[in-house]
Structure 1
Amino acid sequence: MFSSRQKAEVHIEKQASWLKYPHKLNLYDQPPLEDITVEEFESCAIDRLRVLAEIESSFARNRPFDELKTITLAQCEKYLPMASNTAITVDRDAQRWKDVVGHFVLRLAFCRSEELRRRFVKAELTLFRVRYDNCSPSEIKDFLESRDFGWTQVDGAEKTKYFTQLRALSIQKAAPQQKAPPTDVEHLEEFHKVRWTRVPDLVERRKVFLQGGWAYVPAREQASIVFQEFQSRLENSLEMTAKALPRLDEDTRLIPILENLSQGFLAGVPSEWSAPEGSGEEIRADMIDELSRKHFPMCMRNLHDNLRRDHHLKHFGRLQYGLFLKTLGLSIEEALLFWRRSFSGYTDDQFNKNYKYNIRHSYGLEGRRANYPGKSCQQILTSDQPGSNDSHGCPYRHFSPDNLQTALLSMYASQGLTTADLPEIITTVKAGHYHVACTRVFEITHAMQGVKKGEGIGGGESVTHPNQYTTTSRQIERALVESVKMEVDGDVHMET
């Protein structure tokens, strides 16, 4: 007779066998063969890239693995959920299909250079490791049994032959809260042997017993073999994909998508941001000076300061700043008022003739009448590169180190940034992690409001859009004001 728990486990196991993708873990050795739309092609890849880009940012910030794991799981929950086989009310196949499609699309995007391949493999391996660590023992066991990892289980005779050496590995892990090391072969943990070249990390850390070119790997270190197998398979697959990629050159629909995706590690994956609804206030022209000092990221603060100094911005500067203000919530009426006041050296006729049309065009009121969104960090970094006399672009990328440090202190010293913070920021910039540097500035300048190092704009997430930076900053301020107001109201109520 089976217990109710055993019956439930059998039922779940049968259900898993019906799934096209029966495991949360995947070595991605079988590409999806179904027809998919261009929209699915792009959306699946973008959601996966959001997770991988945040992993890349965590590398740049030297986060410990436990912290990286927490942040990655939170990102997966938002963009790439993966339910276990026990979640029978969830469409697990749909989740896993999206995961597989996103992975193979990103292979196409990141196979085109050795540097992109290296970064992609590192991020994908970390995602696989995070998921592996988050799986239950039964899920891991089922996955391992479904694949041939080329290892050989060490039998009793071999355990007896090398008992002293294998027991020594068990002694290494012994801790006060753990059981004593085994005294006989029967109580020795399981071991698998592979060629030592497959586990160089374990050899380096002296976690295996070496004999005749074989590495005897204890069960607790088995994951290292799995991770190495994942990495080597992915590296080989990316090289094969790179050779096949030229066949896609004639498909004008996919190449632009892949080009855009391959920029994802440069500045994360942008979100569409707008002023929060129900905030209780509109953005007006006379508010922008104060907002810039308190809430703007460096790119927009630089544009605003140059506009105030020169009473003019060149075309791409006006475009970048104008779309930012529009997305922040500045109406067309207030925008015309703001720009007219800012261009104080021009007559009404000059302003109307040379600038008014472009402002209305950006709001979708002229020309094609398209509703243009604010530019993301990725767009600012990769398009319309600034010349020596331009003000647009990303200061973290386009300023010299000396000018960047001077500008940072000039703009943010009043918000708590000091010279002691500059080395960390400049090091991050030199490594090419511009949005990570911007995120660190956000943390420093909002430390007095309770933002801690590593929190980013919430949950460890990095800045990927100037409006995201400003919106989050304003939300933090609004929450603090509401908190103080509640405390004051509470004190008044107690006095009465």
Structure 2
Amino acid sequence: MYKASTGAPNDTYRVAQVANHGLLTYPHRLNFYDAPPLFEVTAEEFETSAIHRLHILSEIETSAARNRTWDELKKVTAIQCDQHLPLGHNIDKTEDLDGERRRDYLSHFVLRLAFCRSEDLRQRFVKAETTLFKLRYESDLINERASFLNSRDFNWIPVDATEQKLYAKELNSPYFGKTEAERLAEKYYKVKWTRVPDLVERRKVFVKKGWAYVPSREQSSIVFHEFETHLQRALEMTAKLIPRLDEDTRLIPVLDNLSRAFLNGISSEWTSTADAGNSETIKAEQVDSLAKKHFPLCMRTLHDNLQRDNHLKHFGRLQYGLFLKVLGLSVEEAIVFWRKSFSRIADDKFNKEYKYNIRHSYGLEGKRANYPAKSCQQLLTPGTSDHGCPYRNYSPENLQTALLSAYSSQGLRSSDLPEIMSYVKSSHYHVACTRVFELTHSTDGISKGEGLGGYENVIHPNEYAARSIALAKMKEEKVKEEPMVVE
């Protein structure tokens, strides 16, 4: 192994010869991200790499909000990592191992730029990244983990045999039941006790004159604390330098969008083939039945208001219209639906004041842009619209009433409300919406913690509706395939 200078003081990339992969710029899956990336990237790669990592960090935060166990967290995070940011071992026959680690490296630093700008963002980023590091540390191969540890100076002092024998009683006291052979084979390292506060708190280490004697089995605590401290310092330093980017009109909007998404607990924009035109088109007369069975609360509320008042304000029409467009309502069917819904308005007024806007939202008028439907992140962002996310905007009393009114026929009970409201109270609005989906689709095979299936959380109203409709179709097909029993 040798070091290759990047041209910046103390900023080095390690290059290693690894079987099956030749020379690797990033020889380890584990990384402290010491040096900033000095390679060129496109604006698209800059943003997409960060969005992929945001999926994983958002899932980690969501798991904490849902009180998932460590094993459950490992499972759901592994799924997200495999899908969005795979990171193979050195012995894996991955074709682009260096490319995977390059994307991991880049995505970390992009999010570091986005999340360094406030104390709240920094704390949340450090917590999520440290958790991700712990998960990777546990899943790393023993020899590759050892290689990583040997590549860094953790400033720990190995305890020699004489000192270990001198304090044998104190060193062994936290670990009852160990055999004599195990006690003799155990290695210890000395560090300042402030570097392992978790072990001191749990009385897992012997402390003498400010030094904590850490057994090799607890060595990871030193590594995790070092990673956390290192990242905190790096974020504070980045925060001091970030004003230099204020004049960059390309990067600042991207960073703002990423940080808002993280604060709202949303990983990214939901995309689907429906954005380009849904092959499963729906008719105007189907909308009402679909709304009562498959729509999330935000769209269900807009639909109910439209049916009650025969009208919606501009932002409500825009939000609901784009949702129906992506769901599969053609422009012709949209005109039929809105004309029927606005039954109190004369034909001339409808054609002059509303028909143009409907066609415009489909890209058939004006600048002919293909407008996407509003995402959960956009609905959670305060703005001029009064038709945002009900979980955020409604009072607790009104929200509970709305939930029971909308979903009691689908299995939601008043006894379920305290759990949902606990997520709302902690500002995890997307988790509350996801939990409602689970409760109202339990008969479709969705269990608690599974989200939309595959542990995906709701990040877009159309995602909610599309998954609900798909589950209903699967259930219908299963019923058709079941053999008829004749008695």
User: 1:71 Cα shift?
Assistant: 0.5
AA matched with 1:491? M
Residue 276 of structure 1 and its aligned partner are, at CA, apart by 10
Aligned to 1:177: none
Q: TM-score, normalised by structure 1?
A: 0.91
Shift of 1:88: 3.4
Q: Aligned residue for 1:182?
A: 180
Letter in 1 for 2:190: K
Aligned residue type for 1:321: Y
Task: Name the SS of the counterpart of 2:180 in structure 1.
Answer: coil
1:267 CA drift (Å): 3.9
Q: 2:242 corresponds to which letter in structure 1? A: L
Paired amino acid for 2:221: S
Q: Name the counterpart of 2:484.
A: 491
Matched AA of 2:320: Y
1:422 aligns with 2:417: yes
3-state DSSP of counterpart to 1:263: helix
Q: Distance in 1 between matches of 2:94 and 2:127?
A: 33
> Paired residue for 2:215?
218
1:403 and 2:398 aligned: yes
1:285 is aligned with what amino acid? A
For the pair 1:84 / 2:89, whether they are aligned, the reply is yes
After TM superposition, the structure 1 stretch with the greater mean CA deviation from structure 2, 88-97 or 197-206, is 88-97
Structure 2 partner of 1:292: 291
Provide, for residues 198-240 of structure 1, a one-character-per-residue CA deviation record: whole Å limited to 9, x for no partner: 0000011111111121111111111111110110011111111
Letter in 2 for 1:182: E
Q: CA deviation at 1:450?
A: 1.8
Checking the alignment, whether the CA contact within 8 Å between 1:192 and 1:218 is kept in structure 2 is: yes
Partner of 2:436: 441
Relative to structure 1, is the Cα distance of residues 184 and 68 closer, same or farther in structure 2, using a 3 angstrom cutoff? closer
| 1:378 corresponding residue in structure 2 | 377
> Which residue is 1:3 aligned to?
none
Distance 2:254 2:278 in 1: 35
The one of 226, 232, 236 aligned to 1:235 = 232
Query: Is the alpha carbon distance of 1:247 and 1:286 closer, same or farther for their aligned partners in structure 2, counting shifts above 3 Å?
Result: same
Deviation at 1:149, TM superposition (A): 0.9
1:311, distance to aligned residue in structure 2 (A): 0.5
Q: What residue in structure 2 maps to residue 248 of structure 1?
A: 245
Number of aligned residue pairs: give it: 470
User: What letter matches 2:406 in structure 1?
Assistant: M
* Corresponding residue number in structure 2 for 1:263: 260
Identity of aligned residues (%): 59
1:147 and 2:152 matched = yes
In structure 2, the partner of 1:202 is 199
Q: CA 1:347–1:33 in 2, change beyond 3 Å: closer, same or farther?
A: same
Q: Give SS of 2:136's match.
A: helix
Counterparts of 2:182 and 2:30, CA distance in 1: 35
CA distance in 2, matches of 1:385, 1:235: 36
Deviation of 1:168 after TM superposition, in Å, equals: 2.6
Aligned to 1:473: 468
Query: What's the CA shift for 1:338?
Result: 0.4
Equivalent-residue separation in structure 1 for 2:182 and 2:108 (angstroms): 46
Q: What SS does structure 1 have at the residue aligned with 2:34? A: coil
Residues 1:246 and 1:140: Cα distance change in structure 2 (over 3 Å): same
Cα-to-partner distance string for 1:121-143 (whole Å, 9 max, x where unaligned): 11111111111111111111111
* 1:65 alignment counterpart: 70
Letter in 1 for 2:256: E
1:221 maps to a residue whose letter is: E
CA contact (8 A) 1:306 1:313 kept: yes
- Aligned 1:294-373 pairs, distance under 5 A: 294-373=293-372
TM-score of the aligned structures, taking structure 2 as reference length: 0.93
- How far the C-alpha of 1:422 sits from its partner, in A, is 1.0
1:162 to 167, 171, 181: 167
C-alpha separation in 2, matches of 1:164 and 1:428? 47
Q: Distance in 2 between matches of 1:433 and 1:445?
A: 19
Further displaced range: 126-135 or 85-94: 85-94
Q: Distance in 2 between matches of 1:250 and 1:480?
A: 54
Contact kept in structure 1, 2:444 and 2:475, CA below 8 Å: yes
CA offset digits 1:30-63 (Å, max 9, x no partner): 1100111111111111111111111111111111
Corresponding residue of 1:455:
450
Counterparts of 2:464 and 2:426 in 1: how far apart (Å)?
22
- Within the alignment, does 1:34 sit opposite 2:31 as a pair? no
* Higher RCO (CA-CA < 8 Å; seq separation 6+): 1
- Counterpart CA distance in 2 for 1:367 and 1:446 is 41
In structure 2, C-alpha distance between the alignment counterparts of 1:449 and 1:279, rounded to whole Å: 23
CA separation in 2, counterparts of 1:168 and 1:385? 63
Give the structure 1 partner of residue 7 of structure 2. Answer: none
Contact 1:276 1:471 in 2 (8 A): no
Distance in 2, matches of 1:16 and 1:481, equals: 49
Q: CA RMSD in A?
A: 2.0
For the 8 Å contact 1:385–1:393, the answer to whether it is kept is: no
